[in-house]
Amino acid sequence: MWKYVVKRFLLMIPTLFGVAVVIFVLMRIVPGDIVELRFSGESSYASKENLAVERARFGLDQPLWKQFVTWIWGLVRFDFGTSMWTGAPILQEIKLRFALSLQLAIMATAVGILIALPLGVAAALKQDTWVDYLARVVSIAGIATPSFWLGILMILTLLVVFRWLPPMVYTPFWVNPWQNLLQLIWPALAVGYRLSAVATRMTRSAMLEVLREDYIRTARAKGLVEMLILKRHALKNAMLPVLTVTGIEFAFLMGGLVVTEQVFNLNGLGLLFVQAVTRRDYTMTQALVLLVAAVFIIVNFFMDLMYGWLDPRIRYR
């Protein structure tokens, strides 16, 4: 077991390194760099010397491999450098947004699970009846509806029907929990609905599979109450794949809410990412992509471990 954990853990390093290489190269292929962009933005004439001086300041005059080594060496020491655009330390810039994105991801996941579990279980129990069809339609609609459009509709409804708008300025939870929830519950609902769609389908198919197992028949045969069979025997075993998809979706929520954040005027990681890419802020983009990829890879790692812990039949090799 421990051998597997260590091996699985070490496997994360080459993947992360690969992500670092890909994003580093990608950013260098993107035409135009931050220096050009800045000078053209100020519509002032910039001489070649000025551009060269600026480039040297960012270390962009160095050969590519040297830039890469410098960056990786910084990462190893947990030094992410400073944003090329704002000049502020990246860690500080990200920290501000990380809290918001994390809270939103947690809330959305909670909303998603609250919808998905009952719906998925009901669909599996009443397979091929109208309950099943309804659950299917509701969940496919969740995948089909862009959450940013759902967000627009929510704001519109609140505005037209209730003459009320959620607060547009972010208040941290520890400052004013009520204000904070009033603002974040809407994007959480919009995104959570989408997440619930994926989880509902998974719950349904996992439940269907588990309900056909021998131990369920045994439980029924010994006269166990149906509710207990469902809760203790079926649901517990069906949770594995549901947890997996929820975990993966959660990881994506951390950086993938680019569009929804835009609609709700939230200053999260997604918005920061779009800004960083359009400004050619190499250091910021690289740090963000690495962060999001790391969250994804680490969540996957824990999912794998949890599998073995929850289901002892799974053996590690």
Partner 1 sequence: MAINVPFDAIDVAAAEAARAGWWGIVKDFCRRRPLGAAGAAVVGLLVLVALCANVIAPYDPEKVDFGAMLARPSAAHWLGTDAFGRDVLSRLIYGSRTALLVGFGAAVVGATVGAVLGVGSAYFGGRVDLYLQRVLDIFIAFPLIILALAIVAILGNSLPNLIMAITIPMIPRCALVIRSSALSIREMPYVDAARAAGFGHARIILRHMLPNVMAPYLIMLTSFLGQAILLEASLSFLGLGVQEPTPAWGLMLRGAAVDFAESAPWMAVFPGLAISLAVFAFNLFGDSLRDALDPKLRTL
The separation between the first and the last C-alpha atoms of the chain, rounded to the nearest angstrom, is 8
DSSP state of 194: H
> What is the smallest separation between the CB atom of 120 and partner 1, expressed in angstroms?
10
The residues with which 82 forms a beta bridge, in sequence order, are: 89
> What is the smallest separation between the CB atom of 9 and partner 1, expressed in angstroms?
15
> What is the smallest separation between the CB atom of 160 and partner 1, expressed in angstroms?
6
Q: Which is nearer to partner 1, 60 or 292 (CB)?
A: 292
Q: Which is nearer to partner 1, 149 or 215 (CB)?
A: 149
* C-alpha pair distances (Å), 9 with each of 163, 248, 301: 52, 17, 7
Q: Report the half-sphere exposure of 201 (CA within 13 A, side-chain side).
A: 14
> What is the smallest separation between the CB atom of 139 and partner 1, expressed in angstroms?
9
Q: Which residue is listed with tokens 């309900």?
A: 211
**DSSP for 140-151?**
HHHHHS-HHHHH
Q: Which is nearer to partner 1, 15 or 62 (CB)?
A: 15
Q: Which residues contact 253 (CB under 8 A, 6 or more apart)?
A: 101, 104, 105, 108, 109, 191, 195
Q: Spell 206-218 as b/e; 16+ CB within 10 A means b.
A: bbbebbeeeebee
Q: Which residue is listed with tokens 């204000």?
A: 179
Joined tokens for residue 96: 């501000």
Q: Which is nearer to partner 1, 26 or 88 (CB)?
A: 26
Nearest to 142 by CA among 249, 234, 273, 292: 249
> What is the smallest separation between the CB atom of 175 and partner 1, expressed in angstroms?
28
DSSP state of 62: S
Q: Which is nearer to partner 1, 180 or 253 (CB)?
A: 253
Joined tokens for residue 193: 């609905």
Joined tokens for residue 34: 């931050």
> What is the smallest separation between the CB atom of 138 and partner 1, expressed in angstroms?
11
Q: Which is nearer to partner 1, 1 or 153 (CB)?
A: 153
> What is the smallest separation between the CB atom of 57 and partner 1, expressed in angstroms?
23
Q: Report the distance separating Cα 121 and Cα 207, nearest Å.
A: 7
Q: Report the distance separating Cα 260 and Cα 150, nearest Å.
A: 9
Q: Which is nearer to partner 1, 111 or 290 (CB)?
A: 290
> What is the smallest separation between the CB atom of 257 and partner 1, expressed in angstroms?
9
Q: Report the distance separating Cα 240 and Cα 225, nearest Å.
A: 23
Q: Which is nearer to partner 1, 22 or 310 (CB)?
A: 22
Q: Which is nearer to partner 1, 185 or 216 (CB)?
A: 216
Q: Report the distance separating Cα 119 and Cα 140, nearest Å.
A: 13
> What is the smallest separation between the CB atom of 251 and partner 1, expressed in angstroms?
8
The residues of the shown chain that bind partner 1, judged by CB under 8 A, are: 14-16, 18-19, 22-23, 26-27, 29-31, 126-129, 133, 136-137, 140-141, 143-146, 148-149, 152-153, 155-156, 159-160, 198, 201-202, 204-205, 211-212, 241, 252, 255-256, 258-259, 262-263, 273-274, 277-278, 285, 289, 292-293, 296-297
